């Protein structure tokens, strides 16, 4: 069972367990953790479990709630965190508590949505936290986006490497083409690569490119290391971290 310990300097004032009911912190005596200090609002903050995570929420207090050094409106708590209200702080002890993995709690935690909505303030933070938690589990962080790159192995092209940043990358003689082919009989738009949510797709243009030696039909999803050949140019499709 997780517990909260209200401290003043190094002295323990009161200790409460956290169960299904939220724990309230404030100046009013009916709080679970009453703090007798004018800098603390009557109902200052509350702590509760949500989707398996321990959350602190500031109740529009005048002087704010801080987790460690950061002022928060709402934050997920971890073992060892300190919630500061005025000169008091509440230590979080979550050691004995096994957090429920997020994906088992997802269905109930997510609001039922039919209408289109924009994630805003509270909901947004909540969902991003949940998504982040999910990301941690999948060993994936927001910062680590892979950049697709075409490396030219052979053929008449001046530039040896292209980073595919646009939604649509054109390979051809057109002046707008990212991968610009040279030569009299080269088509304006030989082939194209479309960046989609789940990866990069090579499509035919005026020519049919080959991927790993096989001519493509329609569009194919490119995999790291694929060898593309078109109009006498050989390129390697790779992801860079």
Partner 1 sequence: MQIVSSGLSDVGRVRTNNEDSFRIVEALNLFILSDGMGGEAHGEVASAMAVDVINKVCESEKEDSGATVLDEAPATISSQTRRLKSAVAQANFQIFQAAQKNPEQRGMGATITAMWLKDTMLSIAHVGDSRAYLLRSGNLQQLTSDHSLVAEQVRRGLITPQQAEESEMQSVLLRALGAHPEVEIDTDEVEIIPRDVLLLCSDGLTRMVTEPEIAGALQAEMVPSSAAERLIALANENGGVDNVTVIVVRFEDDANKGWFSWMRRGSAKKD
The token pair at 122 is 């509270």
At residue 156's C-alpha, the angle toward residues 153 and 158, to 5°, is 85
**11 forms part of the interface with partner 1 (CB under 8 A):** no
d(CA 11, CA 215): 75
The token pair at 233 is 């140019």
- Exactly one of 26, 52, 205, 209 binds partner 1 (CB under 8 A); that residue is 205
- Exactly one of 12, 62, 100, 119 binds partner 1 (CB under 8 A); that residue is 119
- Exactly one of 38, 117, 158, 214 binds partner 1 (CB under 8 A); that residue is 117
**159 forms part of the interface with partner 1 (CB under 8 A):** no
d(CA 150, CA 174): 18
**108 forms part of the interface with partner 1 (CB under 8 A):** no
Contacts (Cβ under 8 Å, ≥6 apart) of 171: 177, 178, 179, 181, 189, 190, 191, 192, 193, 205, 209, 230, 233
Binding segment for partner 1 (CB under 8 A), chosen from 15-23, 50-58, 81-89, 194-202, is 194-202
Query: What's the closest the beta carbon of residue 162 comes to partner 1, in angstroms?
Result: 14
Binding segment for partner 1 (CB under 8 A), chosen from 37-45, 74-82, 89-97, 130-138, is 130-138
Contact 9, 2 (CB under 8 A): no
In eight-state DSSP terms, residue 100 is P
Interface with partner 1 by CB under 8 A: which residues? 110, 112-120, 124, 127, 131, 134-135, 138, 140, 142, 166-168, 170, 174-177, 188-189, 192, 194, 196-198, 201, 203-206, 218-219
């Amino acid at each position: 069972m997780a517990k909260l310990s209200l401290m003043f300097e190094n002295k323990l004032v009161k200790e409460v367990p956290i169960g299904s009911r939220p724990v309230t912190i404030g100046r009013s005596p009916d709080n679970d953790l009453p703090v007798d200090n004018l800098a603390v609002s009557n109902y200052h903050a509350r702590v509760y479990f949500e989707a398996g995570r321990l959350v602190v929420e500031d109740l529009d207090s005048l002087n704010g709630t801080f987790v460690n050094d950061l002022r928060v409106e709402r934050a997920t708590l971890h073992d060892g965190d300190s919630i500061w209200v005025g000169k008091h702080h509440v230590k979080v002890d979550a050691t004995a508590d096994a957090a429920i993995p997020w994906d088992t709690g997802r269905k109930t935690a997510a609001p039922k949505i039919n209408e289109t909505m924009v994630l805003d303030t509270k909901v947004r933070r909540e969902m991003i936290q949940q998504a982040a938690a999910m990301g941690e589990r999948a060993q994936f962080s927001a910062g680590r986006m892979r950049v697709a790159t075409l490396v030219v192995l052979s053929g008449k092209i001046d530039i040896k490497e292209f980073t595919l940043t646009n939604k649509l990358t054109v390979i051809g003689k057109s002046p707008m083409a990212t991968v610009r082919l040279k030569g009299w009989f080269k088509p304006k738009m030989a082939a194209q690569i479309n960046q989609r949510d789940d990866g990069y797709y090579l499509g035919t243009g005026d020519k049919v490119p080959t991927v790993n030696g096989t001519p493509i039909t329609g569009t194919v999803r490119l995999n790291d290391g694929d060898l593309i050949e078109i109009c006498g140019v050989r390129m390697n499709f790779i992801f860079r971290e």
